[in-house]
Amino acid sequence: MQRASRQLPLFSAEPEEPGQVSGFSVRESARAKRLSIKVFPRGRVEVVVPRRTRAKDVRAFVEENRAWIERSRDAFAAEHEPEPFALPDVIHLPTIDQVVRVRYKFVADTQSIRYHYAGGVLTLTGQTRSDKLCVKALRRWLSTTAKREFEPRLRALSVFTETPFKKIQVRAQRTCWGSRSSTGTISINLCLLFLTPDLTRYLMIHELCHGRHMNHSKRFWRLVASYEPEYRELDRKLTESWRQVPTWLGLY
């Protein structure tokens, strides 16, 4: 089965002419019927396009919506001060109660990075002068950590809620914290590592309950409430929790 969407190369890292929109990413989606734009709280712009959309059509669409994009960016900037990009020296993972120190060891004549974790220290070795490669390595480690930590928790909650699932997959997602497919696969956003344990637990219960109700009907919410009475407050907090995801991860 093919993926529903994939990330395309950045068409325009910098504007070609003064006044154009800078740095937007493009995501091709099999489900998309038309072009759409999403502006994230930290100013990043993502364009979702149907398959086989031409690059020049994407640029034209972005420029047509430039005023709206800038208004959205300004609104977010007024509410939240922009954070500069910086690779981490320390990573805090509240949901698993870990604080990890990060070390970078540069090795010449290589265009890759390998990581090693031991004793609370994550060491990245290789072409560490490349921010892009460092972020990719950090994401790989986070994904491995999330899968190891989240799977037993999800299985325990599956027993608690009496709602089975087929398998778990961990992804770095921009648009949702989790999801459940009709075939029983639960996708968990690795960014939950940066949130508090109660939010991660709620998200898992939420997705497990979709095993009985693949919707957000009253029956679904009654089922969620039977396992997590504070679901309304937790759901509200989860919606706002993108602020806890570090800028260097490059998702928000």
Taking residues 32-43, report their average pLDDT. Answer: 81
**Tokens read off for 235:** 């759901």
Residues 157 and 179 reside in one and the same domain: yes
**Tokens read off for 104:** 């970078």
Residue 84 is assigned to a structural domain of this protein: no
Per DSSP bridges, beta strands 45-50 and 90-93 are: unpaired
Phi–psi pair at 110, nearest 5 degrees: -145, 145
Residues 233 and 145 reside in one and the same domain: yes
Residues 109 and 52 reside in one and the same domain: no
Residues 63 and 162 reside in one and the same domain: no
Residues 153 and 48 reside in one and the same domain: no
Give the angle 62-67-70 at the CA atoms, nearest 5°: 90
CA pair distance 240, 98, nearest whole angstrom: 22
Residue 153 is assigned to a structural domain of this protein: yes
Residues 33 and 127 reside in one and the same domain: no
Residues 217 and 152 reside in one and the same domain: yes
Contact 122, 115 (CB under 8 A): yes
Residues 48 and 138 reside in one and the same domain: no
Residue 191 is assigned to a structural domain of this protein: yes
**Which are the contacts of 199, defined by CB distance < 8 A and separation ≥ 6?**
95, 192, 234, 237, 238, 241
CA pair distance 137, 219, nearest whole angstrom: 42
CATH number at residue 96: 3.30.2010.10
Taking residues 111-121, report their average pLDDT. Answer: 96
Per DSSP bridges, beta strands 5-12 and 24-29 are: antiparallel
Radius of gyration of the chain (CA): 20
Residues 110 and 223 reside in one and the same domain: yes
pLDDT band at 19 (very low <50, low <70, confident <90, very high): very low
Residue 5, beta-bridge partner list = 29
Contact 34, 53 (CB under 8 A): no
Residues 42 and 137 reside in one and the same domain: no
* pLDDT > 70 fraction of the chain, expressed in percent and rounded: 87
pLDDT in tens, 126-173: 999 999 999 999 999 999 999 999 999 999 999 999 999 999 999 988
Contact 238, 204 (CB under 8 A): no
For residue 44, give the nearest of 17, 7, 91, 18 by alpha carbon.
Answer: 7
pLDDT in tens, 189-220: 999 999 999 999 999 999 999 999 998 899 99
Residue 85 is assigned to a structural domain of this protein: no
pLDDT at residue 129 in the model: 94
pLDDT band at 252 (very low <50, low <70, confident <90, very high): low
Split into its structural domains, the chain has a count of: 2
Taking residues 93-106, report their average pLDDT. Answer: 97
Which strand ranges, in their side-by-side order, compose the sheet holding 5-12? 5-12, 24-29, 45-50, 36-39
Residues 166 and 218 reside in one and the same domain: yes
**Tokens read off for 125:** 């070795």
Residues 125 and 180 reside in one and the same domain: yes
Structural domain harbouring 50: 5-79
pLDDT band at 28 (very low <50, low <70, confident <90, very high): confident
Residue 220 is assigned to a structural domain of this protein: yes
Contact 35, 47 (CB under 8 A): yes
Q: Which H or E element spans position 27?
A: strand 24-29
Asked which of 79, 103, 129 is the last residue of a domain, the reply is: 79
